[in-house]
Amino acid sequence: MRLNSVKILIQLFPVVIWVSGCMTHQLDVSYSADPSRQSPLRTIPSLTMALEVEDVRPKDESDVVGVHAPLGYDSVRYQTKNEVQAILLEGLRNELENNGHKVIPVVEREADVRIVVRIRKFWIDQRNHLFSSDHIGTISADFAVLNPRDGSIYGQRPVIGTFRTSLYLFRPFVTSDNVMNGALAEFIRSFSRDPELLEYLRLAQEE
């Protein structure tokens, strides 16, 4: 019986560390492009892009983080400091402008191409083990590349970014900010290197 109690305490330890850090903390998530590093987006001649981001996540996932605690405990949820839409819009804008493109509000008519991003997931999963817990951040969205003049679609493509790290019993140095910032960086990296999305943008540039 005593051994079982010890095992339960060990399993709960990562959760206690995680929850105690996130109950009073809002996620600070952002992406800043490195001017010294450019992506394949640079291979496309400069475009003026109307970029819009929509949040179409299910209502029960409107909170950012779900921590799946063991032994039937409820999930722990909390918000980002800025709206998820604004986080992705700013991150994508930074990446596009770092690679020679211009991003404008959707209301303007001078765009060469229109990009619509629909957020499907912005979430952390926690998987608990005996001496550790894994934390997996996931950001996914559907991208549509359109002609801004007639609304025709050059193409659509899902993009996913994931980041995984672990919290160990004797090394509990992981934060939800780290996880989601890593996921955001991977998400934008995937977008900027997706060959099909790049081809859709080339089609827009050729018209």
pLDDT digits 0-9 by tens, 138-189: 999 999 999 998 999 999 999 999 999 887 765 545 577 889 999 999 999 9
Cα–Cα distance measured from residue 145 to residue 206, given in angstroms and rounded to the nearest whole number:
14
Coil, strand or helix at 22? helix
Residue 76 pairs in a beta bridge with 67
pLDDT digits (tens, 9 = 90+) for 77-108: 667 889 999 999 999 999 999 999 999 988 77
**Tokens 């060959």 correspond to what residue?**
195
pTM attached to this predicted model: 0.81
Burial 164-184 (b: 16+ CB within 10 A, else e): eeebeeeebebbbbebbbbbb
